[in-house]
A and B are shown apart, each in its own frame.
Chain A
Amino acid sequence: MALALIIAVFLPLIAAFLIPLAGAGMGRRVQLLAMPFPLISFGLILWCAFQHESGTQAFLEVATWVPSLGLDLVFLVDGLSLFFGMVVSGVGVLIFWYAGAYLDDHYEEHNRFYAYLLLFMAAMLGTAFGGNLLLLFIFWELTGISSFLLIGFLHGTKEGQTGSRMALLTTVFTGLVLLAGVALLGMQVGSWHMRDILAADLSLVDGGLAAAILILFAVGAFGKSAQVPFHFWLPNAMSAPTPVSAYLHSATMVKLGVFLTARVFGVFSEMDLWAPLMAGVGFTTLLVGSIFAFFSHKLKAILAYTTVAMLGLFIGFYGIAESSGARYDFMHILNHTAYKGCLFMVVGIIDHATHIKDIRHLGGLWRRMPLLGFISVVAAASMAGIPLTSGFVSKEYILTELYRFMENPTGLPGWLPLVFSIIAFTFMAALSIRFVWHIFFRPEPEGVAEHFHHPGLMIHLPPLVLVVLTLVLGIFPVLYGPLLLALETPGLTAAMDPAYVFKLWHGVNTELITSLSVLASAIVLYFGANAVNWRWEGIPRWLLLDLAFNKGVYALPTGAKNLSRFLRAEAPLDYIPIIAATIVFSLGGFFILHAEVFAFDQMIPFFLESFYKQHLFIALLITFASFGIIFARRWTSQVIFLSTVGFLITVYFVIYQAPDLALTQILIEAATLILILLLLDRFPKSIMRGERSLRISRIRQSMNTVVAIGVGSVVFLFTYAVLLRKEMDYIGQYFLENTVELAKGTNAVNTVLVDFRGFDTLLEIAVLLIAILGSIGLLMRYRRSSEEMEEGEFGAGGFGIHANDNETTK
């Protein structure tokens, strides 16, 4: 079984990378190349399902991957993973089939399209079978990336760009939140292996932390499943070609949030927060989504919002389930997948045949495409929950569950899920009627005929398969019994009585009456809306939150730029003051807190004791000369003061018994002086007059003074404190003792330079050499050759782009 799953998951993954190469230049026929992979995966997973023993969980250890992080390649096979695996690969087969007919020669890059699809399918299967929480997360993120590529397949269009960006940012953000949850949960459990995760007892964990982990997981699930307040990305992701919408948004990707909820059901469902969080958000989304769907006019938007709504229902369904297990959850998900996938494909066919995307401009298509009409009627009936479709069966059982919850509520008012659901069901039934009637049966408006061409039989087959499934299950619900029994999942599904038979007719009970009254009010609602001719401009945009999101996306660069300005990151002249101030603040603050290191009370005696006239005298001279640089107006006098400081320091070196230093200092000082004189002489005469503080405001100048005094004080204090604490066992002693014997030299400074630390000196010479080279480079200016100028803006040096676009600096 392990091998089968490895092939089922990794074969499409590998194929995804080979298809673009193998399929180059094949045009739409790439589909034939890609088609076998979902078939193989589906077949293998089906085979696994037959091998699988119901009610058990099998962990197939495939390989170790990153043992130091607790991540191994493990597949978890249980009812949940098999169910999702079959849905993903089964719908995958239909989608690949459908895409072959849908993506005609108007589209380009077919090979990339199928590569993305395969990548996506592999990622989905990996998520479903991931037997290690980290592995699951990795595939989870991979679905986000591959769906980004799919949604942005038409990346030349603005919708393609904004839609895919929104999808990616939302799912990755919530994915990162989920990652935090994954990390925390695994750290609490001590392992990321699903066996240990599912066996985790969170009551042992600190309550706040456990709640935090649950919320992190929930945000991950909500983001992927487009729950409020993340509902905005899904309708915008409809900019993709329809096969993508059908695959991602009806059948698979958005159900990942539901999958994750189911996966961790056993871990969290006993927590008090579980029901209010999952059911609260889920049922709110159900209500909001169905209302939005009812008020939308774009075909894909209608379907997208009903999807959002149904996802809310599923998540809420797990929220209100008894912690012993949810009932018949797979049945509902399967039914939804069947009719929703079908409806998406229908919309794609309509778009393909008429190039019309808005329901207000459609009508009379029954005459032109009766088969499509039949498919739509059945699928819409299933959405509305009309008997003889699988949607009806589902709705009965969901209502039973809602009534049960109303009697034993936990965590939130018992009526809330029921009322929200009834309202939502009414809206969805009403829009199902509209969907069928307005597209197929009302008189054909102008414009439909204009672009109409019949799409051909082939494209009808995939939705037909789903419709047949809907009908068969709707008429013979007894089939659910063995299916659900086979997919029983420990920790998730409530134990089933093997003898239980799913029936169409339960007698006249509360559920049936509710269901009928929902249908009745839907009809009223439909005619009510008809009376005002469905005349509204959709839903208020601000409720959709997508404008706000986009506004944020566009405002971010500007805001960031203002922030950078505020932080003075765009003002080069402020860099050093900021650095200096940082040093002063941190060290100065620290010294104030630890003033004891300075022994201030002993400062005066200390000073007197170590008083040394010559020393003080030279120091005073240096100080005066250095202030001279500040106060001198002409650069010539500044140079004189600078040199005076330099030569006085020579004397200071002599006081410190450092003759070699004094010698070097004189030489270097002379060389510096010559260089300065040579170059400054070429500067314009204006600076000869001196331009002290010409361009610097008084406030700025006093700030400079404060910073300078701060730097000076910090250096003084630090030096003083270090000298007080001076380590007397310094390694310099070693050189005095050993220089004659070991280095055969009598001047210790020289032996250190050329022998003990000769390497420093070697590099010092290298530094000089580099400085010379650099100066040559500066002055022998780099000129682009004429050839390169002809090549346009591009050249080694000037690219025509300016490093700093913010030219103003204050």
Chain B
Amino acid sequence: MQVIFPLLIPLLTAILGLLAIRSSAGRRLFFAASAGGQLLFSLWLLASVFSSGSQVMYLGGWSAPYGIVLVADPIAAIMVVLVCLTAFSCILYGFQETSIRNEHPLRLPLIQFLVLGLNLSFLTGDLFNLFVAFEVMLLASYALLTLEADDWDVRQAFPYLAINLFGSAFLIALCAFAYGLFGTLNFAHIAVRAQEMSGEPLLVAFGMLAMLVFGIKAGLFPLYYWLPNAYPIMPIALAALFGGMLTKVGVYVLLRLFGTILPHDMDLLYVVLAWLSAATMFFGVLGAASRPYIRGILSFHILSQVGFMMLAITFMTPFAFAAAILYMAHNIIVKSGLFLVGGAVMVLNRTDKLENTGNLWVRTPVLGVGFLLLALSLAGIPPLSGFWGKYMIIVAGFTAGEYVLVAIAIVTGLLTLFSMLKIWMGSFWQSKESVPVVTSDRRWIPMTVIVGGLTVISLIIGLLPEFFIQMAMTAAEGLLDKDAYIRLVLGDLP
């Protein structure tokens, strides 16, 4: 039963918030309370999944594979917690960033719809339902993207929408092909049927199309171009939520697809995906180096790290999957945190263009420490949270004998540090008399507190990684153990 809550609460919150609440203050309170509650619920779900095993919910009581099934296995539960955590911090941050009178009344309900779409994408065990979840998520993201966009920035929504619409058409086609090939849409049932088809070229073609379709969402090279220019037009609180979570849905689906659904012998796909991931991480990090402002750098960086995760997927071992999961969890938290630092810089310096920022290390050292820890963590400096995932990916790459790919990953790590250094030098160390530091704008204090919260979580992952690695290992084994998943969902059905 717990499985339904991450879906029901956002949906009800959004609708109630739209219908029942009139005052802005009341709306804020209501949505913040709900987001906090969701975080608690998701933690509860996580705890019970890890203590008493994965949970399955057959919606409407219709047994799988006929009805829609929700599956909370370890990976899904982890992702739901991350969604709720990011959403909660971004909502709170948004309260600081935008004054209560200026807040768009639709922003909070739409965030809840976005959360609904995200949570459902992680929990659903049905391909078509995944499509619907994607559409909920995407429409909410379109709406949020344009909701508060500058009149002139709104054009950036055009390529974003166009590409996702194009991708969605192929996603429907993918569902159709799945139904045609396997006669079913349930993940577990597809896994059974796909196992029987193992080795057929058509199955590989199906996997390839799926890889590309979800690659668009995840930001795989050369399908990622829509992302880096779209995210910066949003208010920081939303950019942080998008930057943290949206691409990770694509990565999650690829994990699920290659780990649980398709047979484990699609070598051609692994090779293609591995090289595309390497290209993604390399070109992504170079793209970041080309941007002169914080949000641009961070937006481009998202891709680079997505490349890391997808590279790990292609090694197809529980260890590599665990590396991808750990890296993903770390990245969601750290990336959101960095966006939020960017927002605080914008409050203090009135801009995030690096040539016009500065003086912050002297004036606001606490923010600086937060940024430094998050940035070094992103660059994979030990013993911060980003190191463990990166190190595991390197080990997994060596185990697979992919020395060139590991070398690219290492160079990418250096370039990541390079662009983080660019922000650090530009905003924190640079001292320019002409740059104002508006500490009288008190918004930066609560913003820094929220950044601090995310930093502490990242530090905990970094300093006590064993617990999280174990969790990631459990999740990875759950993803790769097809039989267990099939038994879990279908019971003893053949």
- A residues with a Cβ closer than 8 A to B are 20, 64-69, 108-109, 112, 137-138, 141-142, 145, 152, 155-156, 160-161, 165, 168-169, 172-173, 176-177, 179-180, 183-184, 187, 553, 556-561, 563-564, 567-570, 572-576, 578-580, 582-583, 586-587, 590-591, 593-594, 596-597, 715, 718-719, 721-723, 725-732, 734-735, 755-760, 763-764, 766-767, 770-771, 773-774, 776-778, 781-782, 784-785, 787-788, 791-805
Contact = CB atoms under 8 A, between A and B. Distances in A.
Given A176-B414, A774-B139, A561 B290 contact: yes
Contact of A161 (B201, B226, B232, B429): B429
Interface string B357-372: 0000110010000000
A586 B286 contact: no
Contact of A587 (B104, B113, B208, B392): B208
B98 A564 contact: no
B44 interface: no
B258 to A, nearest CB: 16
A731 B189 contact: yes
B71 to A, nearest CB: 14
B431 A155 contact: yes
Contacts of B287: 560, 563-564, 569
A186 to B, nearest CB: 8
Contact of A187 (B176, B296, B395, B413): B395
B391 interface: yes
A187 B382 contact: no
- Chain A interface SS verdict (over half): helix
23 contacts: A64-B466, A67-B466, A68-B466, A155-B430, A169-B417, A560-B287, A564-B287, A576-B163, A579-B167, A586-B272, A590-B205, A594-B205, A722-B181, A725-B180, A727-B193, A757-B128, A758-B60, A766-B136, A777-B110, A777-B147, A787-B101, A794-B351, A800-B351
Given A165-B425, A572-B229, A792-B350, 6 more contacts: A161-B429, A560-B286, A572-B156, A735-B66, A763-B129, A770-B143
A802 B351 CA distance: 11
Contact of A575 (B225, B379, B406): B225
A141 B462 CA distance: 14
A766 B7 CA distance: 12
B106 A777 contact: yes
B108 to A, nearest CB: 11
Nearest to B406: A180
Interface residues of B, number: 132
A352 B242 CA distance: 52
Contact of A590 (B129, B200, B208): B208
Given A569-B225, A766-B113, A803-B156, A785 B101 contact: yes
Given A576-B162, A758-B59, A801-B232, A773 B148 contact: no
A274 to B, nearest CB: 22
Given A582-B223, A735-B66, A788-B99, A796 B235 contact: yes
Nearest to B120: A763
Interface of B: 11, 18, 59-60, 62, 65-68, 97-99, 101-104, 106, 109-110, 113, 116, 120, 128-129, 132-133, 135-136, 139-140, 142-143, 146-153, 156, 158-159, 162-163, 166-167, 170, 173, 176-177, 179-186, 189, 193, 200-202, 204-205, 208-209, 212, 216, 222-223, 225-226, 228-230, 232-233, 235, 272, 283, 286-290, 292-293, 295-296, 346-347, 350-353, 361-362, 365, 376, 379, 381-383, 387-388, 391-392, 394-395, 398-399, 406-407, 410, 413-414, 417-418, 421-422, 425, 429-431, 441, 465-466, 469-470, 473
B97 A796 contact: yes
B361 A66 contact: no
A168 B60 contact: no
Nearest to A572: B159
Nearest to B235: A796
A718 B177 contact: yes
Of A67, A177, A773, which is in contact with the most chain B CB atoms at under 10 Å from its CB?
A: A773
Given A183-B394, A767-B135, A575 B148 contact: no
Contacts of A559: 286
A152 to B, nearest CB: 6
A788 B350 CA distance: 12
A767 B223 contact: no
B8 to A, nearest CB: 11
A493 to B, nearest CB: 30
B102 A785 contact: yes
B156 A725 contact: no
Contacts of A774: 110, 139-140, 142-143, 146-147
Contacts of B152: 798, 802
A756 B66 contact: yes
A23 to B, nearest CB: 13
Nearest to B228: A569
A411 B235 CA distance: 62
Contacts of A179: 391, 394, 410
A109 B293 contact: no
A112 B133 contact: no
A187 B352 contact: no
A766 B11 contact: yes
B60 A803 contact: no
B136 A763 contact: yes
A722 B101 contact: no
B69 to A, nearest CB: 10
A568 B286 contact: no
B147 A782 contact: yes
Contact of B351 (A727, A793, A805): A793
B163 A793 contact: no
B153 A802 contact: yes
A594 B203 CA distance: 12
The 3 residue pairs across chains A and B that have the minimum distance between CB atoms: A774-B143, A730-B183, A727-B183
Nearest to A575: B225
A256 B60 CA distance: 65
Contact of A759 (B59, B177, B228, B365): B59
Nearest to B322: A68
Nearest to A138: B382
Nearest to B193: A727
